[in-house]
Amino acid sequence: MASSSAHSRISNLQNHLSPLEANNKLRSLVKISPQVSEALSNGRAVVALESTIISHGMPYPQNLQTAKEVESIVRENGAVPATIAILNGVPCIGLSEEELERLASLGKSVQKTAGRDIAHVVATRGNGATTVSATLFFASMVGIQVFVTGGIGGVHRHANHTMDISSDLTALGRTPIAVISAGVKSILDIPKTLEYLETQEVYVAAYKSDEFPAFFTEKSGCKAPSRVNSPEDCARVIDANMKLNRQAGILFAVPIPKQHSAAGNLIESATQRALTEAREKNVTGNAETPFLLARVNELTGGTSLAANIALVKNNALIGSQIAVALSQLM
Task: State the catalytic residue, choosing from 71, 185, 218, 288.
Answer: 185
**What's the CA gap between 167 and 173, in Å, rounded?**
10
Residues near 39 by beta carbon (within 8 Å), at least 6 away in sequence: 45, 46, 80
What single letter denotes the amino acid at residue 253?
A
Q: H helices of 129-250, where?
A: 132-142, 159-162, 167-174, 190-199, 231-243
Contact 97, 81 (CB under 8 A): no
Count Cβ atoms below 10 Å from residue 208 Cβ, excluding itself. Answer: 12
What single letter denotes the amino acid at residue 102?
R
* E runs forming strands in 61-121: 80-87, 90-93, 111-113
Task: State the catalytic residue, choosing from 50, 71, 218, 288.
Answer: 50
Q: Count Cβ neighbours within 10 Å for each residue of 287-309 and write b for 16 or more, e otherwise.
A: ebbbbbbbbbbebbeebbbebbb
**What's the CA gap between 183 and 314, in Å, rounded?**
13
Residue 35 CA: distances (Å) to CA of 25, 47, 207: 20, 12, 29
Helix 132-142 × helix 167-174 angle, to 10°: 20
**Of 55, 132, 66, residue with least CA distance to 305:** 66
**What's the CA gap between 140 and 176, in Å, rounded?**
8
Residues near 232 by beta carbon (within 8 Å), at least 6 away in sequence: 325
Catalytic residue flag (residue 185) = yes
Q: Which residues pair with 180 in a beta bridge?
A: 148, 252
Residues with catalytic roles: 50, 185
